[in-house]
Structure 1
């Protein structure tokens, strides 16, 4: 992926020289005659590096840098000057400017060298940020992520598609780890030094979702006091994860299709096309094919995102993974709160093996966390009150029964009962969005149940 460089220089001849040198190295360039124009471009597009003159009519190159650096994902800056003082150079480098170059250039190679070093430094910063994000998100090791025989095929598919650029559709019930799978695709790809940007399409109101994805221009709507970049721009060079894509309103599906096809879009309230290099990974706990049949999802968008489908098995199909996952969560949570928990007593282990886990890995994780808080030494069945309260369904019967919907329906009824029919609380108990719960309530004819 070629780096994108913004050249800000009021001297046309010198600007053309800089452009020629950089393009000869394979870099993609944009130009601005002054800092004000550069700022407009920086608000509209994503760049890896800004090469700017120090002294220009109006705003200076350092003023431009000090405005842009407030963005955590700001590009690297190299400042060119024929007039700068030592004090200005020291001030600029102290504030975060990568380097200063004097005009005229000694030779083209001096520019190439500094640009290469600046881009390498920026790449290292992004890699470090990605590592910290991975650590802070509790990203599990592979032996945990892919525990169980049923996950072997998933691991192979993720490995196969990671290095490609194809759009990926991850399917699976709530709580099966779709976002972790999407992060794994990103971390194993060549884009892993750039951002992984998640968007939960069900958690954002419809009237705000377009702005969230594509950004908006100043004055585009009430409250838009300044231009704002959307998630697509923030994910430039990296991966955009669209969770619960089945919740995307029809009004936005056409715009998403265009971005996937052309890699271009306009902000809300704007008329300028913005180009992005983004790999999209989508996820759903619905059958999108059924959504297409019911005219709730565009068929052309469905076929565009379903280039490489990956289906995550539910936890009831990964029985051999349950002890491994339970041990991992016990070590994780006991370490976090400073308790010494050695494991599970036989009765508790048998109970969690026999339990149906309608909330999948998310429910197992939450149950273990609560048990670690309640338990001492060895976790007992009494430390798992939710498992004791719910009837256990025989796993063989469940595998043979076609009524997975009936299991989900009972879980919804129970969650509504526990929450006093508060749908927001019930959705939290189930680990799904309120919008998904409303859809399920309507689908199962539960709207009159109290």
Structure 2
């Protein structure tokens, strides 16, 4: 997930005249127009997002989208539900669990809780040797000094050399009646390339290492701001991992620690939390939530020599970002999500598409990626139009009137589909479309 302002260079003189310069027919007065399908992404395809529509029952019925998702085992689902009985979603829960476990295994193999040393083993524990599938099994092997290849909840193959999954799985999810996800319609699609797994020789693991300083994780997930609704499953996944690691004897002879923290969906708040975590002795940050927040605060983590390991950052810009070897993620790049999402949209036979996105790096980059994939598949470039609304530092809509303006620009174009990219604030974009009289297909 991710934040900035952009000016859209439209192929037409005005967005209001989109239908006139579209390669498709002018349907502005066409009574046969059936309406537009609604699509979403990992930022809004969640039950907690559906709760934003209490006064619009059924509005999201039929909305579909993609998010990094693998078929999770019942034991894991039961585990996170035990940690948080009120849990409604599972978005990035597995990725958070794996981020904590991989960090712990790397520290054990490094024989140190020094972030600079841990970072050299993070990729290695996913590709280095004997395949292991549970925390207990992996820690036992790691403590004995044997190279390991961790296969976890979502990490089913090794990391690439830049510290992110080489392969992943996406779920196509659907909202049903009552603005809730219909899990019975979920489909899974594997993507990525096994050849992207790092071929760098892993360092030799340390046998039976010990430490005076316990491995300490600092939460850097959005407890407040526009992404706050996404945190409960990630928080549960991370805490389940902490529990299982300590039940297996901890790391380097000591229990691992977890210190709560909030990124606020805001670079300002996240920087303050990073500073607080540094003072508390945190070596590994789990987060942040938004990719834009990560891009803005990674230099702060580097300054303090801390590892930043996000379970949900997806911006392609983070792949090549200068990170001094301290940034990792268990979430895949949106280059992969763009392909999966475009495939879902193309199955519906779309010819004219409106993309509504917030001004964060996450939204703009994903919109660019989807547009590229649609055009590559044969959709005319002038028939894919992007509309950007501004958000504040905490992810809130800067000007609600801008959403109404965008909705009224889209209406005359009669798109076959509308893709809405954003966080909880993107509910306002959908409500604005409905208020403007948009015909939404359910």
Structure exhibiting the larger radius of gyration computed from Cα positions: 1
TM-score range, shorter chain: under 0.3
TM-score for both structures, normalised by structure 1: 0.23
Question: Which is richer in helix?
Answer: 1
- The one of the two structures with greater contact order (alpha-carbon pairs below 8 A, sep at least 6) is 2
